[in-house]
Amino acid sequence: MHSWAASPADRRLSALIRHLEGSSNSMDSDTITASPTSGFSGSRNSVFEHVVRAPEDPILGVTVAYNKDTSPLKLNLGVGAYRTEEGKPLVLNVVRRAEQMLVNNSSRVKEYLPIVGLADFNKLSAKLILGADSPAIQENRVTTVQCLSGTGSLRVGGEFLARHYHQRTIYIPQPTWGNHPKVFTLAGLSVKTFRYYDPVTRGLDFQGLLEDLGSAPSGEIVLLHACAHNPTGVDPTPQQWEQIRQLMRSKALLPFFDSAYQGFASGNLDADAHSVRLFVADGGECLVAQSYAKNMGLYGERVGALSIVCKSADVASRVESQLKLVIRPMYSNPPIHGASIVATILKDRNMYQEWTIELKAMADRIINMRQQLFDALRSRGTPGDWSHIIKQIGMFTFTGLNSEQVAFMRKEYHIYMTSDGRISMAGLSSRTVPHLADAIHAAVTRLV
Ligand code: PLA
């Protein structure tokens, strides 16, 4: 056995792989040993013969299945990707304009960025999430590093905590974005859950949340969705956030915010940053992972940021020095294009203004789709209370449809969504609402 095979990271990886395989097929990976092929040319077997096919990703795999469907009726409500009323992906006008400016600027080069990314982008990203007047920024006690979108920011933050924080467990809401447990496990943390959603009320299980965080050991890390909780669309009220803050601070629980939808929930960037700012205003420490995938429509550019708010400028600069040691062996330094687009927009008053208008239009269209779907189900007399469709916040509706109903809708109506019954409202349009409402109506009346 190689020495690396016994490292803690490797053991965690093996445990995770066993866990993932266990949930999708019955093969016991312990019985699969590497086939002892000789490796010389002429051998009939691949040296990878023993490799077991992995299941598709529960979210991105929906798109894979959708792409294979040849029906003209097909509708992808799986991944959270914004579509126009015409069902097309959208590149914001302000993004096009910024890209044009970047292309026209012949003094721009393609040198490596520093390990922490583009300085302007980092400063502006911290300002966007913490607020222009944030004392933490003025006191220089925030370190911000450019990362590979929201996922990369979570991963870098998780790995930093696994190396340097005195606790190794992160509490994530039940349910949460399906990638969270994998990201944090592979970063080197143990993952536990806290109660979040009550399927009966289709609302927040606030009592359960307070009990679970209340009984977590002091100092543990807690992952919080800054707004527009994925997949439930259920957020705490401002008063509930304040109670959560008091509880967490009283127990020295460390908040790690995932902000993947700033501006997408309410259409207002400041309102959607409320929870984060509440925790920063008390002078305490926290981490924030930001993504520009949704709010600037920069999905494939992979642009995001990790900010760590510290107690002092001195601590922040030492933390940053260690973040560089996490990043350098992982991907060396981040890509330049997406961050340059974001920095161009955030630093120009007019472009920033234009962005907020386009962002609001996207958020409003999603809210409008909620109303249309709700009305369509009501007019069909579909059994059940569907008011959660208009109450939930953000990109997704957590419909309450079960996995059989989801499978039925895929088979009979060519409508694709994740098996937990989550639908991306951003993938819907006035043209496709009736088709979805028909499908939901048929699913709930035929399969209870
Ligand atoms: N955090 C949450 C809560 C998310 O929902 C997502 C994306 C991310 C982080 C990561 O986004 P990024 O790395 O692209 O910035 N969730 C999507 C896509 C939209 C996905 O699963 O990757 C989703 O459909 O849930």
pLDDT tens-digit series, residues 40-57: 556 789 999 999 999 998
Can you give the pLDDT at residue 390?
A: 95
Q: Per-residue pLDDT averaged across 339-357, rounded?
A: 98
Cα of 150 from ligand 1 centre, angstroms = 7
Query: To test the ligand 1 pocket, which listed residue (129, 151, 256) has its Cβ within 8 A of the most ligand atoms?
Result: 151
Can you give the pLDDT at residue 448?
A: 74
421 lines ligand 1 (CB under 6 A): no
Cα of 86 from ligand 1 centre, angstroms = 23
- Which of 186, 111, 176 lies closest to 152, judged by CA? 186
CB atoms within 10 A of CB 35: 12
Q: Whose CA is nearest to atom 11 of ligand 1?
A: 150
| pLDDT greater than 80 at residue 96 | yes
User: Which pTM was predicted?
Assistant: 0.90
Can you give the pLDDT at residue 151?
A: 98
Closest ligand 1 atom to the C-alpha of 291?
Answer: 15
Cα of 149 from ligand 1 centre, angstroms = 9
| pLDDT greater than 50 at residue 25 | no
| pLDDT greater than 50 at residue 68 | yes
Closest ligand 1 atom to the C-alpha of 152?
Answer: 13
pLDDT interval class at 271 (50, 70, 90): very high
| pLDDT greater than 60 at residue 39 | no
The residues annotated as belonging to the active site are 177, 258, 294
80 lines ligand 1 (CB under 6 A): yes
Rounded CA-CA distance 12/266 in Å is 39
Higher local confidence (pLDDT), 256 or 34 = 256
Question: Cα dist. 370→5, 32, 293, 440 in Å?
Answer: 50, 48, 22, 14
| pLDDT greater than 60 at residue 35 | no
Across 34-155, the runs of DSSP E, i.e. the strands, are 75-76, 142-148
- DSSP of 131-149: -TT-HHHHTT-EEEEEEEH
79 lines ligand 1 (CB under 6 A): yes
Q: Per-residue pLDDT averaged across 140-155, rounded?
A: 98
Q: What pLDDT, in 10s, does the model give residues 277-302?
A: 999 999 999 999 999 999 999 999 99
Q: Per-residue pLDDT averaged across 222-229, rounded?
A: 98
| pLDDT greater than 70 at residue 19 | no
Can you give the pLDDT at residue 29?
A: 43
| pLDDT greater than 50 at residue 27 | no
Would you call 205 helix, strand, or coil by DSSP?
A: coil
Round the average pLDDT of the chain to a whole number and report it. 92
Closest ligand 1 atom to the C-alpha of 395?
Answer: 19
Query: To test the ligand 1 pocket, which listed residue (291, 299, 393) has its Cβ within 8 A of the most ligand atoms?
Result: 291
| pLDDT greater than 60 at residue 33 | no
